[in-house]
Amino acid sequence: MKDILTAPFVEEMKRTTANMYRLGWDERNGGNISMLLDTEEVAQYLDVDAVIRTIPLGFDAYPLADRIFIVTGTGKYFKNVEFDPENNLGIVRISSNGLDAHLLWGFSDGGRFTSEFPAHLMSHIARLDVDPENRVIMHCHPTHTLAMNYVHELDERKFTHTLWEMCTECIVVFPDGIGVLPWMLCGTNSIGESTACKMREFRLVVWGMHGIYGAGRNMDEAFVLIETVEKAAQIYMLTAHLPRINTIKDNELAELAEFFGVNYRKDFLDL
């Protein structure tokens, strides 16, 4: 078998977590990522039937039975993933009854997956129903997006509209808008269920006064969705206290979306 440390999905997790940490999105052990893997690809690096140990999930993930994921660990720092992936990452297969995760590799210090993994799996289930190619769920705490939570209404239409106005590219990058949840206790099935419900409509969900969830077909797509939101939020925070002289008008936003052929939320504009 090939060396698991050379696997593209391990390398991708190393690069992405390092980028997110250096951008200041994932302080300490804040944030988490999970990615659905192709079983045949994983089998080039691991015996997918060799279970190291079994970890209860705490909810029924039966729609994902026998699927394999790479996921960040609980209490692990993103800054350490690139130097010690076997300790900070894990590869797990969801059990055939959907109630447990079978550890195939990683968490070498006896750790386990992030406490948000059940919430991730709920969002994976929701996104796969919408788009069977969606494979990545990403959660982080981008600074300006979080700051915006404290000075802007947490209304998904208004929040989305404000961000669309900040950068010409925004309505093209996330035309489906941004779902918004109020502050909720993290690490619970309740917030996972609420996020998954939003994920059926949006690829981005803001957790009020906490952070953001993003979904994508691959790591790059999930990352750049959040990156674009964060850039727009930064511009908003730099300008919100100043008189607004210029803005992108709603008819111009519609013109943008239609020119680039994206299916945008027309109900989020005043046309």
Name residue 35's beta-bridge partners.
Answer: 70, 136
Which two three-digit tokens encode residue 173? 């990058």
Tokens encoding 57: 């999930």
Catalytic position from the list 12, 41, 82, 116:
116
Check if 258 is active-site: no
Q: Which residues pair with 4 in a beta bridge?
A: none
- Block residue for tokens 């008189």: 243
Helix (H, G, I), strand (E, B) or coil at 215: strand
Residues pairing with 3 in the sheet = none
State the amino acid at position 128 in one-letter form.
L
Count of other CB atoms within 10 angstroms of residue 267: 9
Question: Residue 198 belongs to what H/E stretch?
Answer: helix 189-199
Task: Kindly list the catalytic residues.
Answer: 116
